[in-house]
Structure 1
Amino acid sequence: MLNLRAGVAVVAAVVALAACGGTEPAAQSPAAGGPRVLKLWHYEAADSAMGKAWTEAVKQFEASHPGVTVKFEEKAFEQIRQSAGMILNSDEAPDVMEYNKGNATAGLLSKQGLLTDLTPEVTRRGWDKLLSPSLQTTARYDERGVMGSGKWFGVPNYAEYVMVYYNKDAFKKAGVEVPTTFEEFTEVLDTFAKKGTTPIAMGGAEYPAQHIFYQLALSKAQRPWVDAFQLYKGKVDFKGPEFTYAADTFADWVKKGYIGKDSAAVKAEDMGVSFIGGKYPILISGSWWYGRFVSDVKDFEWGSFLWPGDTMSAGSSGNVWVVPENAKNKDLAYDFIDITMKKEIQNLLGNSGGIPVAADTAAITDAKSKELIENFNTLSSSDRLAFYPDWPAPGYYDVLVSGLQNLVNGSKSSAEVLDELAAPYQENLADLGN
């Protein structure tokens, strides 16, 4: 899950790409005298940690590949999420693309035969040696499109997790400290609400509300529940204590003013901008915002902490590089991925506010970046990464957005929303033969 960026319309993008180069077959030379073009798509902002690192990777790629040009197009997260299947099933597929990991996204496309099996390249180039077993989970998918085993259809080159960002100046003014327990966290929220300040910046129109809902569920969960929900290694009761507590508490937070009643229509970008502008003292979201806040927050001191009291936390490897089956320059795509895995690029990513997977730890000198990476290592080393709630079933992202909007608006009860979430999940299990 990454921060959203406005992109051109999909139809316009496809038309524009049709006019670009890159018509040669994969791993073959273009027509006599014609230049080769690597078509690259991702949805990271230029000022994000990944954006900075991948811009440098493009420079190094072009320097090491004379006569090859990179045709980069920044896409919106929503644009790729909604239209990837259609575009990758056409002749206009890019050569390499950032794509969301998980059963509902990369897993689904792998099952549909739209992604290239990267296993031979992973072994040949040693990418598997750079990624821990937990980070490999989201790179490999079986014949059902279920993550965790099978062939490699993606390669992550960064990691991510959900945390609580906070405005240090606002905390000091309100007389509150960084909480170490969930009870202390709710006391902080209550203090701000009673002072007339909505404490949590939230984007109910996109993924941010899901992070809060899932963290609340995880506060009552252990690894077996996560594996049952995400990997189908057991039964999931949507009226059980985990999801019931999450739905009831989320609705209660809206009633108490911890979450704005007008946040159902707010997009993730607007949520982030509101925190940057000092409107809200707390933002609960992913590490992909870290570099952005380093660059853009000018008027107050800020920090971050792990969700207090939880055994588990939303997080995983970052999104993955995928090579579409219809890519025309697969050899170039493999070379580009390889450059993003090199220590120089990984070190840049780490010092820019990202979480690298293969950096030289001694080369990470930025204090905030060290804090970010250390918190991730705390989660990763103790098996506390719980993935994301929209992963289990195709289309589940939209189901969660709609359900949580209903909780914010008060248009449905917690029980009704949980029924709404359970139905497509159970249908997907039936489709898988579980």
Structure 2
Amino acid sequence: MFRRIRRGRTLALALGAASVLALAACGGGSGASASGKTFTVWWYEDAGNPQDAAWQDALKDFKAAHPNVKVHFERKVWQQIQDAGAMILNSKDAPDLLEYNKGNATAGAVSSKGLLTDLTSEASSQGWDKIAGSALTVGTYNSKGLMGPGKLYGIPSYGEYVSFAYNEDMFAKYGVKVPTTMDELDAAFAKFKSEGITPLAESAADYPAQHLLWGLALSYADHGWLNGYFGLKAPLDTSSDSPLTKAAETIADWTAKGYIDKKSSGMKPEDAWSLFRSGKAPITYAGTWMAGDFRDNIKSFKWGQFLMPGSGINPGSGGNIWVVPTKADNKDLAYDFIGLTLDKKRQDLMANAGGVALHADPADVSDPTGKMVNQTFSQLVSSDGLGLYGDWPVPNFYQVIQSNTQTLVAGRQTPDEFMKQLKTAYDQVQSTVGG
């Protein structure tokens, strides 16, 4: 987030400076222990999700391979790292390894401050660059902290994308076919609305609605526009032809037609997911981090997924990244653990848990949900169809987009007013580091 966002995670309240220091201190640092070294690793994946399952398995093998090393693992929440990442990394108590949020405003910002270890040569010698391939884009930043050609500061071990999840039984009951064009999507929404059903379960009090905004923007975009947007090549285009303007207008239109409930402006992600799981809403727009949840918790109907119609570009990328703080005490141990998360055992495990692996063996993926999401991700990669996330270009853009998308869905802001707010935040940074 857009993950950022990552998305689907329980968010904590923003941390003050005192709380940040306490957070870092409670990690225990990466100093020596009675049995030798202490390896400290943090991540914020939900317990039991595909990434967590694979990484917990990696921890078991890591401990077996390093019997004299004390392993100190802590589960954080996404918002802690989003809000306090720079202060954590700049602390003497920084962990040896942590999952970090990708994008110019997060990993890019801290890499430009010298807070992350350059992993370029390590990735080459370990073969991580061949395993992760183009997914390494999310860990590569230049001296200004802009994603793209530059040094490698983060290693993803999984992939992700956002798509519509839909209730196959409700589609069949009301004679709705899976949309392949925007007109067909609008017609599907209209059919459900005519039956007294709000078609799209949405959350605008948090990240899902801005994922929808970005998905719509990408449906109108091409790679030329994307390169300019993420590269801060020019001030933000707010004309009527801008993909973002069209996306804002579409959301306003869908809300006015009742396809999105205005009450969504006060709903959290779990509220939207619950509406979909319960069969009260036939469609939701969710990332692959929810695929395992839907597989495990939807028992009363069959569900599937379809991509946003339009250009063929969809929100998605390599997953959030492993970073090694410059101040880490045990970088060699961090490299060992990264390697375990990228090996065949963990990649296959992740895929069979419903996650998107970077190089799982298709022959070893038996889980139907795992097959579905990994095949779609592979198709998006091969077609250059991963459009990253719209909040990445500038610091604090996540908060700007989220708060204004919430206001847009609530009907308290016009698309023009929405775009003016985004332009102010984007142009302030573009004028100093872009071009």
TM-score by length of 2: 0.93
Aligned residues: 427
Partner amino acid, structure 1, of 2:150: G
**1:322-378: CA deviations, max 9, x gaps?**
111222222211111110010100010111111111222221122221121111111
Q: How does 1:34-433 map to 2 (within 5 A)?
A: 34-133=35-134, 135-233=135-233, 236-241=236-241, 242-433=243-434
User: Counterparts of 2:97 and 2:171 in 1: how far apart (Å)?
Assistant: 43
CA distance in 1, matches of 2:99, 2:428: 28
Task: Kindly provide the amino acid, as one letter, of the partner of residue 4 in structure 1.
Answer: R
Partner deviation per Cα, 1:158-210 (whole Å, 9 max, x = no partner): 11111110111222222212112211111111111222221111111221111
Q: Which letter maps to 2:159?
A: A
Deviations 1:227-277 (A, max 9, x none): 111123566412242122111110111111111101112222332233223
Percentage of identical aligned residues:
43
CA distance change for structure 1 residues 34 and 341 in 2, over 3 Å: closer, same or farther? same
* Whole-angstrom distance in 2 between the partners of 1:252 and 1:433: 33
C-alpha distance 226-88 of structure 1, shift in aligned 2 (>3 A): same
Contact 2:115 2:325 in 1 (8 A): yes
**How far 1:21 sits from its partner (Å)?**
4.4
The 1:196–1:174 alpha-carbon spacing in structure 2 relative to 1, beyond 3 Å, is same
Aligned partners of 1:4 and 1:269 also within 8 Å? no
Coordinate RMSD, CA, aligned? 2.0
Distance 1:301 1:413 in 2: 37
Q: In structure 2, how many angstroms separate the alpha carbons of the residues matched to 1:430 and 1:124?
A: 38
Q: Distance in 1 between matches of 2:28 and 2:138?
A: 32
Query: Residues 88 and 326 of structure 1 are in contact (CA less than 8 Å); yes or no, is this contact kept in structure 2?
Result: yes
Which TM-score applies when normalising by structure 1? 0.93
> Shift of the alpha carbon at 1:23?
4.3
Q: Aligned letter for 1:43? A: Y
Q: 2:22 aligns with which of 15, 20, 29?
A: 15
The one-letter amino acid of 1:15's match is: A
Give yes or no for contact 1:204–1:405 (8 Å, CA) kept in 2.
Answer: yes
Cα pair distance change 1:5/1:72, threshold 3 Å:
farther
For 2:260 and 2:141, the matched residues in 1 are separated by 37
Q: Which runs of 5+ in 2 are unaligned?
A: none
CA deviation after TM superposition for structure 1 residue 19, in Å: 5.3
Distance 1:83 1:20 in 2: 14
Q: What is the match of residue 27 of structure 1?
A: none
Which whole-Å CA distance do the structure 2 matches of 1:61 and 1:270 have between them?
Answer: 38
Contact 1:239 1:415 in 2 (8 A): no
Contact 1:47 1:291 in 2 (8 A): no
Question: Would the aligned equivalents of 1:115 and 1:153 in 2 still touch at CA under 8 Å?
Answer: yes
Work out the CA distance in 1 between the residues paired with 2:179 and 2:360.
Answer: 31
Equivalent AA in structure 2 for residue 144 of structure 1: K
Cα deviation for residue 388 of structure 1 reads 0.5
**Conservation of the 8 A alpha-carbon contact between 1:142 and 1:150:** yes
Paired with 1:222 and 1:269, the residues of 2 have a C-alpha distance of: 32
> What is the CA–CA distance in structure 1 between the aligned matches of 2:282 and 2:255, rounded to whole Å?
16
Q: One-letter code of the match for 2:207?
A: Y
Distance in structure 1 (CA, Å) of the matches to 2:293 and 2:408: 29
